A = this chain, B = another copy of it.
Amino acid sequence: MADSQQLDIDEIVRDSFNLEDAIQLTDKLSQLEPEEVAIALEAMPLEQRVSAWLSLPPEEQIAALTYMRVDARANVFKQLTEQQLKTLVEEMDVDDLIELLDELPPAIYDYACSRLDVSQRRWLDTALTYDDEQCGRFADHNMLIINKNAKVRDALRLFRELAADTEYHEALFVVDRNGCYVGLVHATQLLGLTDFQAIENIIDQDAPWIEGEVALDQASDMVSRSGYNALAVVDENHKLLGRLSISRAFDIVRRNLENQFMLTAGLDEDEDLFSPVIASAKRRALWLGINLLTAFLAAWTIGLFEATLNQVVALAVLMPVVASMGGIAGSQTLTLIIRGLAMEQITPSTYMALLRKELGVGTLNGILWALVIAVVTYFWFGDWVIGGIIGLAIVINIIVAAISGVMIPIWLKKFNIDPALSGSVILTTVTDVIGFCTFLGLGTLFLLG
Protein backbone atom coordinates (compact mmCIF):
# COMPACT_ATOMS: atom_id res chain seq x y z
CA MET A 1 0.00 0.00 0.00
CA ALA A 2 1.53 3.31 -1.08
CA ASP A 3 1.96 5.91 1.59
CA SER A 4 -0.67 8.63 1.46
CA GLN A 5 1.19 11.83 0.65
CA GLN A 6 0.35 15.46 1.05
CA LEU A 7 1.49 17.73 -1.72
CA ASP A 8 4.83 19.41 -0.95
CA ILE A 9 5.05 22.27 -3.43
CA ASP A 10 7.99 23.80 -1.60
CA GLU A 11 10.16 20.76 -2.29
CA ILE A 12 9.14 20.54 -5.93
CA VAL A 13 9.79 24.21 -6.57
CA ARG A 14 13.19 23.88 -4.92
CA ASP A 15 14.01 20.96 -7.21
CA SER A 16 13.06 23.01 -10.25
CA PHE A 17 16.00 25.34 -9.55
CA ASN A 18 18.38 22.43 -9.50
CA LEU A 19 19.31 21.53 -13.06
CA GLU A 20 21.09 18.32 -12.07
CA ASP A 21 17.94 16.87 -10.54
CA ALA A 22 15.80 17.22 -13.63
CA ILE A 23 14.96 13.52 -13.71
CA GLN A 24 14.06 13.47 -10.05
CA LEU A 25 11.74 16.46 -10.58
CA THR A 26 9.99 14.78 -13.50
CA ASP A 27 9.53 11.69 -11.34
CA LYS A 28 7.96 13.68 -8.56
CA LEU A 29 5.64 15.58 -10.89
CA SER A 30 4.53 12.35 -12.54
CA GLN A 31 3.32 11.02 -9.19
CA LEU A 32 0.97 13.97 -8.72
CA GLU A 33 -2.60 14.51 -9.90
CA PRO A 34 -2.75 16.89 -12.92
CA GLU A 35 -4.31 19.63 -10.76
CA GLU A 36 -1.38 19.39 -8.36
CA VAL A 37 1.13 19.55 -11.23
CA ALA A 38 -0.61 22.73 -12.39
CA ILE A 39 -0.36 24.29 -8.92
CA ALA A 40 3.32 23.41 -8.66
CA LEU A 41 4.10 24.78 -12.14
CA GLU A 42 2.32 28.05 -11.36
CA ALA A 43 4.51 28.40 -8.26
CA MET A 44 7.71 28.40 -10.38
CA PRO A 45 9.28 31.42 -12.10
CA LEU A 46 8.83 31.31 -15.88
CA GLU A 47 12.19 29.79 -16.77
CA GLN A 48 11.88 26.92 -14.27
CA ARG A 49 8.21 26.45 -15.14
CA VAL A 50 8.86 25.97 -18.83
CA SER A 51 11.69 23.52 -18.35
CA ALA A 52 9.82 21.51 -15.72
CA TRP A 53 6.76 21.40 -17.98
CA LEU A 54 8.82 20.38 -21.03
CA SER A 55 10.19 17.42 -19.07
CA LEU A 56 6.70 15.87 -18.77
CA PRO A 57 5.26 13.35 -21.24
CA PRO A 58 2.80 14.95 -23.73
CA GLU A 59 -0.43 13.77 -22.09
CA GLU A 60 0.67 15.14 -18.72
CA GLN A 61 1.76 18.38 -20.36
CA ILE A 62 -1.74 18.85 -21.74
CA ALA A 63 -3.51 17.83 -18.52
CA ALA A 64 -1.40 20.30 -16.52
CA LEU A 65 -2.15 23.11 -18.99
CA THR A 66 -5.91 22.57 -18.76
CA TYR A 67 -5.73 22.97 -14.98
CA MET A 68 -3.45 26.03 -15.01
CA ARG A 69 -4.76 29.57 -14.78
CA VAL A 70 -5.10 31.34 -18.11
CA ASP A 71 -2.14 33.73 -17.71
CA ALA A 72 0.17 31.09 -16.29
CA ARG A 73 -0.61 28.82 -19.21
CA ALA A 74 -0.32 31.62 -21.78
CA ASN A 75 3.14 32.41 -20.39
CA VAL A 76 4.15 28.80 -21.13
CA PHE A 77 2.73 28.89 -24.67
CA LYS A 78 4.72 32.07 -25.40
CA GLN A 79 7.98 30.20 -24.78
CA LEU A 80 7.24 27.41 -27.28
CA THR A 81 8.29 27.21 -30.91
CA GLU A 82 5.69 26.68 -33.63
CA GLN A 83 6.88 23.09 -34.01
CA GLN A 84 6.53 22.42 -30.28
CA LEU A 85 3.01 23.86 -30.33
CA LYS A 86 2.05 21.71 -33.32
CA THR A 87 3.33 18.54 -31.69
CA LEU A 88 1.41 19.51 -28.57
CA VAL A 89 -1.97 20.08 -30.23
CA GLU A 90 -1.67 16.79 -32.09
CA GLU A 91 -2.15 15.05 -28.75
CA MET A 92 -5.19 17.11 -27.72
CA ASP A 93 -8.74 15.83 -27.77
CA VAL A 94 -11.66 18.15 -28.40
CA ASP A 95 -12.21 18.93 -24.69
CA ASP A 96 -8.59 20.01 -24.24
CA LEU A 97 -8.81 22.14 -27.36
CA ILE A 98 -12.00 23.92 -26.19
CA GLU A 99 -10.32 24.70 -22.89
CA LEU A 100 -7.08 25.97 -24.41
CA LEU A 101 -8.14 27.55 -27.69
CA ASP A 102 -8.15 31.16 -26.48
CA GLU A 103 -4.44 31.03 -25.71
CA LEU A 104 -3.33 29.30 -28.92
CA PRO A 105 -2.02 31.35 -31.87
CA PRO A 106 -4.65 31.30 -34.69
CA ALA A 107 -2.47 29.29 -37.07
CA ILE A 108 -1.94 26.59 -34.45
CA TYR A 109 -5.63 26.54 -33.62
CA ASP A 110 -6.51 26.03 -37.29
CA TYR A 111 -3.94 23.27 -37.53
CA ALA A 112 -5.44 21.57 -34.46
CA CYS A 113 -8.97 21.81 -35.91
CA SER A 114 -7.85 20.32 -39.20
CA ARG A 115 -6.69 17.22 -37.34
CA LEU A 116 -9.96 16.50 -35.52
CA ASP A 117 -12.15 13.70 -36.83
CA VAL A 118 -15.72 14.38 -37.99
CA SER A 119 -17.46 13.69 -34.69
CA GLN A 120 -14.95 15.70 -32.67
CA ARG A 121 -15.22 18.52 -35.19
CA ARG A 122 -19.02 18.48 -34.71
CA TRP A 123 -18.61 18.66 -30.93
CA LEU A 124 -16.28 21.61 -31.31
CA ASP A 125 -18.72 23.45 -33.56
CA THR A 126 -21.59 22.84 -31.14
CA ALA A 127 -19.53 23.97 -28.17
CA LEU A 128 -18.57 27.18 -29.95
CA THR A 129 -22.23 28.15 -30.44
CA TYR A 130 -22.12 28.96 -26.69
CA ASP A 131 -20.02 31.77 -25.28
CA ASP A 132 -17.32 31.22 -22.69
CA GLU A 133 -19.57 32.03 -19.74
CA GLN A 134 -22.13 29.37 -20.66
CA CYS A 135 -21.94 25.76 -19.59
CA GLY A 136 -22.76 24.52 -23.10
CA ARG A 137 -19.28 25.57 -24.16
CA PHE A 138 -17.48 23.49 -21.56
CA ALA A 139 -19.70 20.40 -21.40
CA ASP A 140 -17.35 17.46 -21.07
CA HIS A 141 -17.65 14.72 -23.70
CA ASN A 142 -15.79 12.14 -21.72
CA MET A 143 -18.92 10.26 -20.62
CA LEU A 144 -20.73 6.94 -21.04
CA ILE A 145 -23.85 7.17 -23.19
CA ILE A 146 -26.44 4.42 -23.71
CA ASN A 147 -29.64 4.14 -25.74
CA LYS A 148 -32.81 3.76 -23.73
CA ASN A 149 -33.74 0.65 -25.73
CA ALA A 150 -30.53 -1.11 -24.70
CA LYS A 151 -30.32 -4.06 -22.32
CA VAL A 152 -28.44 -4.41 -19.04
CA ARG A 153 -25.83 -6.43 -20.92
CA ASP A 154 -24.90 -3.39 -23.03
CA ALA A 155 -24.58 -1.24 -19.93
CA LEU A 156 -22.28 -3.78 -18.30
CA ARG A 157 -20.08 -3.82 -21.38
CA LEU A 158 -19.78 -0.03 -21.33
CA PHE A 159 -18.74 -0.04 -17.69
CA ARG A 160 -16.26 -2.86 -18.24
CA GLU A 161 -14.56 -1.04 -21.07
CA LEU A 162 -14.02 1.93 -18.79
CA ALA A 163 -13.09 0.09 -15.62
CA ALA A 164 -9.69 1.78 -15.37
CA ASP A 165 -11.08 5.31 -15.42
CA THR A 166 -12.38 6.16 -11.96
CA GLU A 167 -13.15 9.83 -12.51
CA TYR A 168 -16.89 10.06 -11.88
CA HIS A 169 -18.00 7.39 -14.30
CA GLU A 170 -20.46 5.65 -12.00
CA ALA A 171 -23.47 6.55 -14.14
CA LEU A 172 -24.57 6.11 -17.75
CA PHE A 173 -26.34 8.93 -19.57
CA VAL A 174 -29.43 7.55 -21.30
CA VAL A 175 -30.58 9.05 -24.61
CA ASP A 176 -33.42 8.27 -27.04
CA ARG A 177 -32.81 7.56 -30.72
CA ASN A 178 -32.69 11.33 -31.48
CA GLY A 179 -29.88 11.81 -29.01
CA CYS A 180 -32.21 13.52 -26.54
CA TYR A 181 -31.37 13.11 -22.87
CA VAL A 182 -33.75 10.84 -20.94
CA GLY A 183 -32.08 10.20 -17.57
CA LEU A 184 -29.33 8.36 -15.74
CA VAL A 185 -28.57 4.74 -14.92
CA HIS A 186 -26.27 4.26 -11.93
CA ALA A 187 -23.82 1.39 -11.63
CA THR A 188 -25.37 0.51 -8.27
CA GLN A 189 -28.76 0.01 -9.96
CA LEU A 190 -27.33 -2.62 -12.27
CA LEU A 191 -26.01 -4.81 -9.47
CA GLY A 192 -27.88 -8.12 -9.38
CA LEU A 193 -29.82 -7.54 -12.60
CA THR A 194 -29.76 -10.10 -15.39
CA ASP A 195 -28.27 -9.44 -18.84
CA PHE A 196 -31.51 -9.09 -20.78
CA GLN A 197 -33.48 -6.78 -18.54
CA ALA A 198 -34.41 -3.50 -20.21
CA ILE A 199 -32.54 -0.32 -19.35
CA GLU A 200 -35.75 1.61 -19.91
CA ASN A 201 -37.27 0.26 -16.68
CA ILE A 202 -34.55 1.48 -14.36
CA ILE A 203 -33.84 5.00 -15.62
CA ASP A 204 -33.37 7.62 -12.89
CA GLN A 205 -35.43 10.55 -14.13
CA ASP A 206 -35.11 12.59 -10.93
CA ALA A 207 -31.64 13.89 -11.68
CA PRO A 208 -31.74 17.53 -12.72
CA TRP A 209 -30.23 18.51 -16.05
CA ILE A 210 -28.77 21.79 -17.23
CA GLU A 211 -29.57 23.86 -20.32
CA GLY A 212 -26.49 24.81 -22.34
CA GLU A 213 -27.30 28.54 -22.02
CA VAL A 214 -27.11 28.47 -18.23
CA ALA A 215 -24.19 30.47 -16.86
CA LEU A 216 -21.23 28.33 -15.86
CA ASP A 217 -21.32 29.41 -12.22
CA GLN A 218 -25.04 28.69 -11.83
CA ALA A 219 -24.59 25.34 -13.52
CA SER A 220 -21.77 24.53 -11.10
CA ASP A 221 -23.98 25.39 -8.14
CA MET A 222 -26.65 23.06 -9.53
CA VAL A 223 -24.17 20.18 -9.72
CA SER A 224 -22.78 20.81 -6.26
CA ARG A 225 -26.22 20.91 -4.67
CA SER A 226 -27.68 18.00 -6.60
CA GLY A 227 -25.82 15.24 -4.79
CA TYR A 228 -24.94 13.69 -8.18
CA ASN A 229 -21.42 13.20 -9.53
CA ALA A 230 -22.27 14.76 -12.86
CA LEU A 231 -25.32 16.26 -14.54
CA ALA A 232 -26.30 16.20 -18.19
CA VAL A 233 -25.98 19.40 -20.23
CA VAL A 234 -28.58 19.66 -23.02
CA ASP A 235 -29.30 22.03 -25.91
CA GLU A 236 -32.60 23.83 -26.55
CA ASN A 237 -34.04 20.65 -28.13
CA HIS A 238 -33.00 18.60 -25.12
CA LYS A 239 -30.22 16.91 -27.09
CA LEU A 240 -27.38 15.72 -24.88
CA LEU A 241 -24.36 18.02 -25.29
CA GLY A 242 -22.15 16.53 -22.61
CA ARG A 243 -21.88 16.51 -18.85
CA LEU A 244 -20.70 18.79 -16.08
CA SER A 245 -18.90 16.76 -13.41
CA ILE A 246 -18.59 17.69 -9.78
CA SER A 247 -14.83 18.02 -10.05
CA ARG A 248 -15.25 20.53 -12.87
CA ALA A 249 -17.98 22.34 -10.92
CA PHE A 250 -15.64 22.47 -7.93
CA ASP A 251 -12.97 24.08 -10.07
CA ILE A 252 -15.36 26.68 -11.46
CA VAL A 253 -16.74 27.66 -8.05
CA ARG A 254 -13.23 27.90 -6.63
CA ARG A 255 -12.10 30.16 -9.45
CA ASN A 256 -15.16 32.39 -9.12
CA LEU A 257 -14.57 32.90 -5.43
CA GLU A 258 -10.87 33.49 -6.02
CA ASN A 259 -11.80 36.00 -8.68
CA GLN A 260 -14.02 37.92 -6.27
CA PHE A 261 -11.09 38.18 -3.88
CA MET A 262 -8.65 39.29 -6.57
CA LEU A 263 -11.11 41.82 -8.02
CA THR A 264 -11.04 43.80 -4.80
CA ALA A 265 -7.53 44.86 -5.82
CA GLY A 266 -8.39 45.32 -9.49
CA LEU A 267 -6.74 42.01 -10.43
CA ASP A 268 -8.37 38.86 -11.74
CA GLU A 269 -7.97 35.24 -10.80
CA ASP A 270 -5.87 34.53 -13.87
CA GLU A 271 -3.07 36.86 -12.75
CA ASP A 272 0.16 34.87 -12.85
CA LEU A 273 2.51 35.20 -9.85
CA PHE A 274 5.40 35.44 -12.28
CA SER A 275 4.00 37.47 -15.17
CA PRO A 276 6.70 39.39 -17.01
CA VAL A 277 7.21 42.79 -15.34
CA ILE A 278 6.07 44.94 -18.26
CA ALA A 279 2.88 42.95 -18.92
CA SER A 280 2.03 43.02 -15.25
CA ALA A 281 2.78 46.75 -14.85
CA LYS A 282 0.60 47.54 -17.86
CA ARG A 283 -2.34 45.58 -16.47
CA ARG A 284 -2.17 47.21 -13.06
CA ALA A 285 -1.61 50.73 -14.37
CA LEU A 286 -5.26 51.17 -15.34
CA TRP A 287 -6.48 50.44 -11.84
CA LEU A 288 -3.98 52.89 -10.37
CA GLY A 289 -5.14 55.50 -12.90
CA ILE A 290 -8.80 55.07 -11.91
CA ASN A 291 -7.87 55.40 -8.29
CA LEU A 292 -5.78 58.46 -9.07
CA LEU A 293 -8.85 60.17 -10.47
CA THR A 294 -10.76 59.52 -7.26
CA ALA A 295 -7.78 60.67 -5.18
CA PHE A 296 -7.68 63.92 -7.14
CA LEU A 297 -11.40 64.32 -6.55
CA ALA A 298 -10.78 64.00 -2.82
CA ALA A 299 -7.87 66.44 -3.06
CA TRP A 300 -10.06 68.89 -4.96
CA THR A 301 -12.67 68.66 -2.18
CA ILE A 302 -10.00 69.54 0.35
CA GLY A 303 -8.82 72.35 -1.91
CA LEU A 304 -12.23 74.01 -1.53
CA PHE A 305 -11.36 74.63 2.09
CA GLU A 306 -7.83 76.00 1.62
CA ALA A 307 -8.67 79.17 3.53
CA THR A 308 -9.90 77.18 6.51
CA LEU A 309 -6.89 74.86 6.51
CA ASN A 310 -4.62 77.88 6.35
CA GLN A 311 -6.00 79.09 9.66
CA VAL A 312 -6.64 75.82 11.50
CA VAL A 313 -3.88 73.38 10.68
CA ALA A 314 -5.27 70.85 13.18
CA LEU A 315 -7.98 70.10 10.63
CA ALA A 316 -5.36 69.02 8.10
CA VAL A 317 -3.80 66.75 10.66
CA LEU A 318 -7.09 65.06 11.53
CA MET A 319 -8.48 64.66 7.99
CA PRO A 320 -7.25 61.06 7.50
CA VAL A 321 -9.10 59.94 10.63
CA VAL A 322 -12.48 61.01 9.27
CA ALA A 323 -11.87 59.52 5.82
CA SER A 324 -10.44 56.27 7.16
CA MET A 325 -13.27 55.53 9.63
CA GLY A 326 -15.89 56.11 6.93
CA GLY A 327 -13.99 53.92 4.48
CA ILE A 328 -13.59 51.02 6.90
CA ALA A 329 -17.20 51.08 8.15
CA GLY A 330 -18.46 51.29 4.57
CA SER A 331 -16.29 48.43 3.38
CA GLN A 332 -17.66 46.15 6.11
CA THR A 333 -21.21 46.71 4.87
CA LEU A 334 -20.09 46.53 1.24
CA THR A 335 -18.29 43.22 1.70
CA LEU A 336 -21.31 41.65 3.40
CA ILE A 337 -23.62 42.82 0.61
CA ILE A 338 -21.26 41.70 -2.17
CA ARG A 339 -21.13 38.20 -0.71
CA GLY A 340 -24.92 38.22 -0.36
CA LEU A 341 -25.32 39.28 -4.00
CA ALA A 342 -22.90 36.58 -5.16
CA MET A 343 -25.00 33.98 -3.32
CA GLU A 344 -28.17 35.58 -4.71
CA GLN A 345 -29.34 36.06 -1.13
CA ILE A 346 -30.19 39.73 -1.52
CA THR A 347 -33.67 40.23 -2.89
CA PRO A 348 -35.84 43.34 -3.43
CA SER A 349 -38.19 42.27 -0.64
CA THR A 350 -35.37 42.50 1.90
CA TYR A 351 -33.62 45.71 0.72
CA MET A 352 -35.36 47.80 3.38
CA ALA A 353 -34.70 45.30 6.18
CA LEU A 354 -31.01 45.25 5.25
CA LEU A 355 -30.80 49.01 5.03
CA ARG A 356 -32.48 49.40 8.43
CA LYS A 357 -30.10 46.90 10.00
CA GLU A 358 -26.96 48.46 8.50
CA LEU A 359 -28.16 51.94 9.46
CA GLY A 360 -28.62 50.69 13.02
CA VAL A 361 -25.13 49.19 13.10
CA GLY A 362 -23.68 52.36 11.53
CA THR A 363 -25.44 54.66 13.99
CA LEU A 364 -24.29 52.68 17.02
CA ASN A 365 -20.69 52.40 15.89
CA GLY A 366 -20.73 55.97 14.59
CA ILE A 367 -21.75 57.37 17.98
CA LEU A 368 -19.37 55.11 19.90
CA TRP A 369 -16.28 56.00 17.89
CA ALA A 370 -17.26 59.66 17.48
CA LEU A 371 -17.16 59.99 21.28
CA VAL A 372 -13.79 58.26 21.50
CA ILE A 373 -12.33 60.41 18.73
CA ALA A 374 -13.77 63.62 20.17
CA VAL A 375 -12.16 62.92 23.53
CA VAL A 376 -8.78 62.00 22.02
CA THR A 377 -8.91 65.13 19.88
CA TYR A 378 -9.67 67.28 22.91
CA PHE A 379 -6.66 65.95 24.74
CA TRP A 380 -4.47 66.34 21.66
CA PHE A 381 -5.43 69.87 20.61
CA GLY A 382 -7.00 71.10 23.87
CA ASP A 383 -10.06 72.36 22.02
CA TRP A 384 -13.60 71.05 22.56
CA VAL A 385 -14.88 72.73 19.40
CA ILE A 386 -12.52 70.73 17.16
CA GLY A 387 -13.43 67.61 19.15
CA GLY A 388 -17.13 68.26 18.60
CA ILE A 389 -16.63 68.95 14.90
CA ILE A 390 -14.69 65.76 14.24
CA GLY A 391 -17.19 63.73 16.29
CA LEU A 392 -20.13 65.03 14.29
CA ALA A 393 -18.28 64.45 11.01
CA ILE A 394 -17.51 60.86 12.04
CA VAL A 395 -21.15 60.09 12.88
CA ILE A 396 -22.35 61.52 9.58
CA ASN A 397 -19.63 59.79 7.55
CA ILE A 398 -20.20 56.35 9.11
CA ILE A 399 -23.96 56.60 8.52
CA VAL A 400 -23.40 57.69 4.91
CA ALA A 401 -20.96 54.77 4.59
CA ALA A 402 -23.61 52.30 5.81
CA ILE A 403 -26.18 53.54 3.29
CA SER A 404 -23.60 53.56 0.47
CA GLY A 405 -22.37 50.11 1.43
CA VAL A 406 -25.87 48.73 0.87
CA MET A 407 -26.95 50.79 -2.14
CA ILE A 408 -23.78 50.99 -4.28
CA PRO A 409 -23.38 47.23 -4.88
CA ILE A 410 -27.12 46.77 -5.48
CA TRP A 411 -27.10 49.56 -8.08
CA LEU A 412 -23.93 48.27 -9.72
CA LYS A 413 -25.41 44.78 -9.98
CA LYS A 414 -28.52 46.26 -11.67
CA PHE A 415 -26.28 47.77 -14.34
CA ASN A 416 -24.41 44.47 -14.64
CA ILE A 417 -21.20 45.93 -13.25
CA ASP A 418 -19.31 43.61 -10.93
CA PRO A 419 -19.53 45.15 -7.45
CA ALA A 420 -16.47 43.22 -6.25
CA LEU A 421 -14.37 45.18 -8.77
CA SER A 422 -15.77 48.70 -8.66
CA GLY A 423 -17.70 48.78 -5.37
CA SER A 424 -14.82 49.73 -3.13
CA VAL A 425 -13.44 52.48 -5.42
CA ILE A 426 -16.85 54.15 -5.58
CA LEU A 427 -17.51 53.66 -1.90
CA THR A 428 -14.14 55.13 -0.88
CA THR A 429 -14.71 58.09 -3.16
CA VAL A 430 -18.07 58.73 -1.48
CA THR A 431 -16.72 58.40 2.06
CA ASP A 432 -13.64 60.54 1.23
CA VAL A 433 -15.61 63.34 -0.36
CA ILE A 434 -18.43 63.33 2.21
CA GLY A 435 -15.93 62.96 5.06
CA PHE A 436 -13.72 65.87 3.94
CA CYS A 437 -16.73 68.06 3.11
CA THR A 438 -18.52 67.61 6.43
CA PHE A 439 -15.37 67.84 8.51
CA LEU A 440 -13.87 70.87 6.77
CA GLY A 441 -17.32 72.38 6.19
CA LEU A 442 -18.18 72.18 9.88
CA GLY A 443 -14.72 73.54 10.64
CA THR A 444 -15.31 76.55 8.38
CA LEU A 445 -18.69 77.14 10.01
CA PHE A 446 -17.64 76.93 13.63
CA LEU A 447 -13.97 77.90 13.64
CA LEU A 448 -13.81 80.79 11.16
CA GLY A 449 -17.31 82.35 11.08
Hey, which bits of chain A sit against chain B, CB under 8 A? 1-2, 4-7, 9-10, 13-14, 17, 33, 35-36, 39, 42-45, 156, 159-160, 162-163, 166-170, 183, 186-192, 204-206, 208-211, 214, 218, 221-222, 224-229, 246-247, 249-250, 253-254, 257-258, 260-262, 264-267, 269, 271, 273-275, 277-278, 280-281, 284-285, 287-289, 291-292, 294-296, 298-299, 302-303, 306, 309-310, 313-314, 316-321, 323-325, 328-329, 331-332, 334-336, 338-340, 343-350, 353-354, 357, 360-361, 364-365, 368-369, 372-373, 376, 380, 432
Return chain B residues, CB-CB under 8 Å to A364.
277-278, 281
In the complex, what distance in Å separates the CA atom of A190 from the CA atom of B193?
A: 12
**B343-A39 in contact (CB<8A):** yes
Q: Which of B17, B265, B344, B350 contacts A332 (CB 8 A)?
A: B265
Given contacts A186-B166, A287-B332, contact A339 B306 (CB under 8 A): no
**A320-B298 in contact (CB<8A):** yes
Closest to A257 in B: B257
Given contacts A229-B168, A335-B267, contact A191 B369 (CB under 8 A): no
Give the Cβ gap from A416 to chain B, nearest Cβ, in Å: 17
Return chain B residues, CB-CB under 8 Å to A266.
328, 332
Q: List 28 A-B contacts (CB under 8 A).
A: A1-B205, A2-B205, A6-B218, A10-B344, A14-B349, A33-B226, A36-B225, A42-B343, A163-B189, A170-B187, A170-B229, A191-B191, A250-B250, A261-B264, A261-B335, A267-B336, A273-B340, A274-B353, A275-B357, A277-B360, A277-B364, A285-B369, A295-B320, A298-B321, A303-B380, A306-B314, A306-B317, A320-B432
Return chain B residues, CB-CB under 8 Å to A224.
35, 247, 250
Most buried by B among A162, A166, A168, A336: A166
**A347-B9 in contact (CB<8A):** yes
Extra A-B contacts (4), CB below 8 Å, given A9-B344, A285-B368 = A39-B344, A167-B227, A170-B170, A262-B336
**A324-B336 in contact (CB<8A):** no
